[in-house]
Amino acid sequence: MATRNELENKFQNGARPSGDDFAALINSFLHKTEDGLTFDERSIKNLRLPGGLKLGDSNSSEPGTLRLNTGRVQFYDGSKWADVGGGGAFQPIGTTGAVTYAGGNVGIGSDFASTSPPTYRLEVPLKSNTATSTSERVRFGAAVFHTGATPDQGYAYLSHVQQANSNKSYGFRQAPSGEVYINAPLTQSVYLSQDGDTIRLAVTANTGHVIVGSDSDLSGASAYPFQVNGSAFIQSKVMIQGTNVSASDFALQVNGKVCNPSGEWSRCSDIRVKEDIRDLEAGLDQLMRVRPVRFRYNGKAGTPKGQESVGVIGQEIETIFPEMVERIASMDEIGSDDEPLRIYNGSALTYVLVNAVKELAGRVKELENTLAQLQQAPQPPTNE
């Protein structure tokens, strides 16, 4: 078939075209019916190609050129080839309908401008959460993210979709300063678990009891706000409404009564843990100087005001048994002289009593021996 240039030369130069030349000329035109071409009925006649348009690859530098390159339809904009569909917007990946976006960060909402574009890969600015609208929330499956309302505006919240209507029923919350809150509605419990469903720590619904090692109140302990299901080891100190003294002084402080059904407090007494062993000299003489008293606490230094008790005066017994009295700083004002608080430990007095009893027993023994000797001595004759 003659080319367009050949046909142009023949028809322009007056040469006599052949029948084949006329056939080639006719076949060089598109036929609406035979080639399936149509135009729409609007004022601007848009060409329709029901049979489709087949593109090939091209290296043309003509702006507006389309091509099919490595399976992608591309458009030449005068400076570069760009994929049709946004030049870097969502692009199909694979054959399952997946798409990707590699054009930069994505912002959702009306808070962005050319001078303040999104700075995160995905950024969704949210205003205060309200119970009547979901417009200020982001949902991923059953998880909902939102911000708090006054006075917790600016806090980050994570809630279940069924609990997101209330700012009090969230699961996790963090303040701008970094404080972290783990939460549940009042009628539900909070659990710290391990290996799925093994409860290690629970805060019970309604009562707020803290329970270690169980998900509910222990048997017989429903009135106690802190419960431990098992043994507990404390490395440092425990204060139970303790006397207001320096917290560094005692491993255990109890302001009130302590019950020990056995009546004894155990301590390690093995000789293998002791050194510098010597006899205790204190005994009856020192014991006779102790003045037992009745008194009422005045409420200072955390003492129970008005409670009657019996005991000794720390300043007095300190002069007799200084090792039984410890001086510590008080956290409350107890006087104008700012003297340390006297703390009395009377456990050593038991062993002073042992020495006093032994001393009295010795004296009784001597008296018994003297009496026996007097009874065995010859009696002077009596005058009748």
Give pLDDT tens digits for 23-46.
777 777 766 677 666 766 666 667
Closest alpha carbon to 103 in 119, 87, 117:
87
Name the average pLDDT for the chain. Answer: 85
Mean pLDDT of 336-361: 88
Q: Give the model confidence (pLDDT) of 187-244 as tens digits.
A: 999 999 999 989 999 999 999 999 999 999 999 888 889 999 988 888 777 777 655 5
Cα(203)–Cα(187) distance, rounded to whole angstroms?
11
User: Does residue 327 surpass a pLDDT of 50?
Assistant: yes
Q: pLDDT tens across 55-81, in order? A: 889 888 899 899 988 877 888 888 988
Give the tens place of pLDDT for each residue, 267-317: 888 999 999 999 999 999 999 999 999 999 988 877 888 999 999 999 999
Answer whether residue 248 shows pLDDT above 70: no
pLDDT per residue as tens digits for the range 111-168: 898 889 999 999 999 999 988 889 999 999 999 999 988 888 899 999 999 999 988 9
- Stretch 85-90: mean pLDDT, rounded? 58
Predicted confidence at residue 4, as pLDDT, reads: 66
Q: Which residue has the higher pLDDT, 187 or 5?
A: 187
At residue 321, the pLDDT reads 95
Q: Residue 371 corresponds to which tokens in the numbers above?
A: 């009496």
For residues 308-329, average pLDDT: 93
Residues 178-182: what's their mean pLDDT?
96
**Residue 15 pLDDT > 90, yes or no?**
no
Query: What six digits make up the tokens of 276?
Result: 């510098």
> Measured in whole angstroms, how far is the alpha carbon of residue 336 from the centre of its chain?
45
Model confidence at 184: pLDDT above 70: yes
The first and second tokens of residue 22, run together, are 């006329």
As a whole number of angstroms, the distance between CA 331 and CA 314 comes to 18
CA angle at residue 149 from 144 to 154, to 5 degrees? 80
pLDDT exceeds 70 at position 101: yes
For 288, half-sphere exposure in the C-beta direction (CA atoms, 13 angstrom radius) is 7
What's the whole-number mean pLDDT along residues 260-264?
71
What per-residue confidence (pLDDT) applies to 367?
A: 95
| pLDDT of the residue at 87 | 47
Strand partners, 72: 69
Amino acid letter, residue 53: L
Mean pLDDT on 358-370: 94
Instruction: Print the SS3 string covering the chain.
Output: CCCHHHHHHHHHCCCCCCHHHHHHHHHCCCCCCCCCCEECCCCCCCEECCCCCCCCCCCCCCCCCEEEECCEEEEECCCCEEECCCCCCCEEECCCCEEECCCCCEECCCCCECCECCCCCEECCCCECECCECCCCEEECCEEEEEECCCCECCEEEEECCCCCCCCCCCEEECCCCCEEECCCCCCCEEEEECCCEEEEEECCCCCCEEECCCCCCCCCCCCCEEECCCCCCCCCEEECCCCECCCCCCEEECCCCCCCCCCCCCCCCHHHCCCCCCCCCCHHHHHCCCCEEEECCCHHHCCCCCEEEECCHHHHHHHCHHHEEEECECCCCCCCCCCEEEECHHHHHHHHHHHHHHHHHHHHHHHHHHHHHHHCCCCCCCC
